[in-house]
Structure 1
Amino acid sequence: MSCLILMSDAFLVPDNLTLKIFSFLSNLLDFDKSYCQIIFMKTKTIQNRVYGGVEANLREEERRKKLIEAGLETFGTKGYAKTNIKMICGIAGLTERYFYESFHHKEDLLCAVYRELIDEGQREAMAALEDSKGFPLETASRVLKMFYHRFQQDPRRAQLQLFEILGVSPKIDREYQNAMRLLADLVRLFLLKVFPRIHKEMLNKSIIPTGLAGSIIMIAHEWVLGGFITPLDEIISQSTDLFVAMGKHLEKQSGLKSKKK
């Protein structure tokens, strides 16, 4: 049996060109295609091959970023249920082959986009906390303002983060629940910074941080659905009032507990 071996590393061509080369050589050398085999010789070096000055793993990461941005655009404007992979790839400027290079299915992309939004918010909040100059309540208000302003600035984010993420699947529900726990942990951290006399042990057992996290999200829901009519500063003022009221309550409870001891 005649055998034509095309070694990707030797030819230094991407795999999608191999079939074209095979066809050309078969015709040139008068091989009977039914008696030829194509053997792709792949090694780890192909993963880091350079094209146009960019390594393969970096190009893959760039494609992933394009798909995530396209996911935000489609899920945030058309909605998750009305979006398909062809739409996503069209906006990303990639073929469907590259979608499956990074994600198994549409749900995986939704998960990745949502995580990206949550991680971005967490990074901004922690950076603000680290940069605070001795005024933790002002920092807390500033973080709240950043949180709500992102929704107003980019309605796609609001649609995805507040609505499209709900009720998709058990897997996505777990992502949402994890994000809510992270938000509750962030609220807990700010409560300790603003009200240092709160007993940490008592705060860790309290459901108040979870309740405040839920209120932040529900206020965002109502604000977005109402078309952002309420001025942002009013949203921040009332949200901060709620935060302070709960903080003072926890501080008072901590004082009563200390007296009993």
Structure 2
Amino acid sequence: MASSRNSRLYAGMAAEERQAERRLRLIQAAIEVYGEVGYRNATVKAVCEAAELTERYFYESFANSEALLIAAYMHVCDTLHADMAAAADACAGDPEARMTAALTLYFTRLREHPRPARVFLLEISGISPAVDAVKLTVSRTFSEILVPPPDIAPHADRGQNLLSTGMVGAVISIALRWVSKGYPQPVEEIVAATAAFCRVALSGHSHRGKV
């Protein structure tokens, strides 16, 4: 029994833990490599070298490069969205402050971490239908952060739901232009402009609902 247990442990880590650690290293390396040279110019070998792992460990966790791209994208999005949600939730009861706080966190993070920003905005576009489906799921999460959940709950107004999704697309388009142009406006200015657009879009829907 003891020898069997020891065979599964190395440096105090079980085999599953070691595999998870290697997977995370590959994801983090991919973010750096994709952010530097682009997904289409990156190779499995380059990512493995950045992670200081051999290629056999790549295929231990990922079927192909597209699977790694999706994992890297979700890793960036999950971290970003968690921080955005925390900033927004600190403004409970004030929808405008909630939106401004979330957008401020979003644009600040894109400015401070350009390589993950490239993965989030640039490298994920036009890859495949599978990647597009992941992007759609991420957009829904984004919209739930910007707009209070009751407004986009499953039984809420479908017009509001569609509007929230479209609004997120517009926010991402603004961010894409801002990042690709080298952050020409200060964070405060781009947040103010984006929040103003969102308020107009939402107020327009509210007025239509009253007609």
Q: TM-score, normalised by structure 2?
A: 0.87
Identify if the C-alpha distance between structure 1 residues 58 and 243 changes in structure 2 by more than 3 Å, giving closer, same or farther: same
In the alignment, which residue of structure 1 is the partner of 2:68?
Answer: 109
Aligned residues: 208
Note the C-alpha offset of 1:109: 0.5
Note the C-alpha offset of 1:139: 2.2
Identify if the C-alpha distance between structure 1 residues 171 and 60 changes in structure 2 by more than 3 Å, giving closer, same or farther: same
- CA deviations 1:24-45 (Å, max 9, x no partner) are xxxxxxxxxxxxxxxxxxxxx6
Aligned partners of 1:84, 1:112: CA distance in 2, in Å?
Answer: 16
Note the C-alpha offset of 1:190: 6.5
- CA deviations 1:52-99 (Å, max 9, x no partner) are 111111111111110000010111111111111111110101111111
Identify if the C-alpha distance between structure 1 residues 55 and 237 changes in structure 2 by more than 3 Å, giving closer, same or farther: same
- CA deviations 1:167-192 (Å, max 9, x no partner) are 11222122222222332343443694
- CA deviations 1:169-226 (Å, max 9, x no partner) are 2221222222223323434436949xxxxxx733x33432122111101100110121
Amino acid corresponding to residue 193 of structure 2 in structure 1 = Q
Asked if the contact 2:87–2:98 (Cα under 8 Å) also holds between the matched residues in 1, the reply is: yes
Aligned partners of 2:139, 2:7: CA distance in 1, in Å?
Answer: 38
In the alignment, which residue of structure 2 is the partner of 1:91?
Answer: 50
Structure label with greater radius of gyration: 1
> Is residue 128 of structure 2 the alignment partner of residue 173 of structure 1?
no
Counterparts of residues 181-220 of structure 1 (less than 5 Å): 181-189=140-148, 192=151, 201-202=156-157, 204-206=158-160, 207-220=162-175
In the alignment, which residue of structure 1 is the partner of 2:11?
Answer: 52
Percent of matched pairs sharing the same residue: 31
Amino acid corresponding to residue 212 of structure 1 in structure 2 = M
Aligned partners of 2:69, 2:60: CA distance in 1, in Å?
Answer: 15
Which of 15, 24, 32 is equivalent to 1:73? 32
Identify if the C-alpha distance between structure 1 residues 133 and 184 changes in structure 2 by more than 3 Å, giving closer, same or farther: closer
Asked if the contact 1:136–1:190 (Cα under 8 Å) also holds between the matched residues in 2, the reply is: no
Q: Which runs of 5+ in 2 are unaligned?
A: none
| Aligned alpha-carbon RMSD (Å) | 2.5
Asked if the contact 1:74–1:87 (Cα under 8 Å) also holds between the matched residues in 2, the reply is: yes
Which of 98, 104, 114 is equivalent to 1:139? 98
Asked if the contact 2:85–2:102 (Cα under 8 Å) also holds between the matched residues in 1, the reply is: no
Asked if the contact 2:33–2:42 (Cα under 8 Å) also holds between the matched residues in 1, the reply is: yes
Amino acid corresponding to residue 105 of structure 1 in structure 2 = N
Note the C-alpha offset of 1:47: 10
In the alignment, which residue of structure 2 is the partner of 1:30?
Answer: none
Q: Which runs of 5+ in 1 are unaligned?
A: 1-8, 13-44, 194-199
Aligned partners of 1:187, 1:135: CA distance in 2, in Å?
Answer: 12
Amino acid corresponding to residue 159 of structure 2 in structure 1 = K
> Is residue 113 of structure 2 the alignment partner of residue 158 of structure 1?
no
> Is residue 105 of structure 2 the alignment partner of residue 127 of structure 1?
no
Note the C-alpha offset of 1:46: 7.0
Name the structure, 1 or 2, with higher relative contact order (CA <8 Å, separation 6+).
2
- CA deviations 1:211-252 (Å, max 9, x no partner) are 211110110011012110111111111111112222322333
Identify if the C-alpha distance between structure 1 residues 47 and 186 changes in structure 2 by more than 3 Å, giving closer, same or farther: farther
In the alignment, which residue of structure 2 is the partner of 1:40?
Answer: none
Identify if the C-alpha distance between structure 1 residues 47 and 160 changes in structure 2 by more than 3 Å, giving closer, same or farther: farther
